[in-house]
Structure 1
Amino acid sequence: MSFNKPFHRNYRPVKENGPQAGYSDWAYIIEKDYSKSPEHYTRAFLIIQEDILKLFQFVEPSDVNSKTYSFRIHELLMRTCIEIEANFKAILNENIYTPKYKNGKRAGDLKTEKDWNINDFKIINKTHHLDDYSIELPFWKGIENVRKPFLSWKKNGDLIWYQAYNKSKHDRHNSFEVANFTNLIDAFSGLCVLLTSQFRHVDFQPGPDNLQANGYSYFGDGFGGFGIGDYLMVDYPENWKEEEKYDFDWTKLKGETERFGKINYNDI
């Protein structure tokens, strides 16, 4: 089984032998009904990226600075993880997700969005393959230039960088040092992965989108190409099963009234 309609905010490959597969692989992303206000999320990422690049003027992107921490790094980690949470919530809201409390006094009650947490968000990994994305930083001294921010989810582990965000958010005085450079870069890479898993490298900014990127680059040999904002390089998952892929001709589907489906996360 494959899917004859794209899901909201869920980029996945289209079967290569399908009609108009090259066009169908990306054209639905820029349709208005695919996602609500996508530019709201990509703009936030671009602003964060700009501020992180300014940080690189003072903290060199290198292995030896991995444990560096400061108020500026702390601030950027907070902002980045807030954006990650916003994207997770947008994905769940635009599909189907109505969880209920399983234990305690509120068992059986609907769990409202304000109470969603990382355990709710983790379900998105099953539909977006977040744990199979890799990010490469183009300027980096050392061996830590490639990040796989969601890799620990492959074995149902915790995200160290997200734990650092929570610790330093709730107790900055005693956990200030965990909001360090490494956790910031992992979170930044994680936000890039999460956006890419929804929009490929479309930034929804004014002007034409170059969806079919061509040309040569000094960086990123073997990687899939530059992501949103043209700084981080993204290596896309290659392990999608045939039954997980999309199978539609967007030249025909785009003329229909019901062009998009919804993932029922309650059944996953």
Structure 2
Amino acid sequence: MVEANYWQYYLSLEEDIDRLFRYIEPSEHNFSAYSVELTRLYLAICSEIDVLLKAYCKLLDAGSFASKINEYAEVVVSSKKSLCSETVNLQRFGLSMTPFYEWEQRTTPVWWKKHNGVKHNRDVNFRDANLGNVLNSFAALYLLNLYYYHERSSIELRKQGFFEPLEATVVSLKSRLDLLKIDSVLLNVQER
């Protein structure tokens, strides 16, 4: 069986996002900008989020059959509530996003609702495939990758009586562009 390499797919999308910044400045003033390219990225990112959430839920609960966003939220929040409060920074541009904060209130993230609208009724919801939703979903994908790979490596370490901090996962996952950082890791690294 070939292992799904979610991080490699993330890196491919990261390159696409960085290329996009040559044409649209990542600024809150431009969050409502929409285009065919943003639609392509939005659908690809959210599709990968769906795939990764399913795999992550299986890691957290081997008996999980979660297949919808609310089912994913139930599994993830019951195990990893900290994901809801993680803030992701697009440092070069001074932007911060907390893509899963709605899960704390047991509601679906707005960027996911808008994605479903674009996916199922693109002709009506084309404008929702905008920069703001793309960046929030991209931040969500980044966090999910970190949490997925951290959990995967932690399973074996816990069996041996060890604990690996999230910072170690962040360091081990190499990004050529280093677009995103998470606050909790930045704070822990700066405190040392």
- TM-score surpassing 0.5? yes
- Determine if the alignment matches structure 1 residue 51 to structure 2 residue 1: no
The unaligned stretches of length 5 or more in structure 1 are 1-35, 100-112, 201-210, 214-223, 238-268
Give 4+ residue runs of structure 1 displaced > 3 Å after superposition: 224-228
Higher helix share: 2
- Cα offset, 1:227, TM superposition: 6.9
Counterpart mapping for 1:112-191 below 5 A: 116-123=67-74, 124-128=76-80, 129-140=82-93, 145-191=95-141
User: How far apart in 1 are the matches of 2:184 and 2:79?
Assistant: 14
* 1:170-210 superposed Cα distances (whole Å, 9 cap, x missing partner): 0000000011100000000000111111225xxxxxxxxxx
- Cα offset, 1:43, TM superposition: 0.5
CA RMSD of aligned residues (A): 2.6
Higher relative contact order (CA 8 A, sep 6+): 1
Query: Could you state the TM-score of these two structures normalised by the residue count of structure 1?
Result: 0.56
1:186–1:226 distance in 2 versus 1, CA, 3 Å: farther
- Cα offset, 1:226, TM superposition: 10
Question: Helix, strand or coil: the match of 2:88?
Answer: strand
User: How far apart in 2 are the matches of 1:132 and 1:234?
Assistant: 10
Contact 1:226 1:232 in 2 (8 A): no
1:131–1:175 distance in 2 versus 1, CA, 3 Å: same
Greater CA drift, 59-68 or 119-128: 119-128
Contact 2:42 2:134 in 1 (8 A): yes
Tell me the residue number matched to 1:42.
7
Greater Rg by CA? 1
- Cα offset, 1:130, TM superposition: 1.4
Tell me the residue number matched to 1:96.
62
- Cα offset, 1:212, TM superposition: 5.7
Tell me the residue number matched to 1:241.
none
User: How far apart in 2 are the matches of 1:162 and 1:44?
Assistant: 19
What letter matches 1:72 in structure 2? E
User: How far apart in 2 are the matches of 1:48 and 1:186?
Assistant: 13
Candidates 47, 57, 65, aligned match of 1:82: 47
What letter matches 1:135 in structure 2? V
Residues paired across the two proteins, number:
164
- Cα offset, 1:140, TM superposition: 1.8
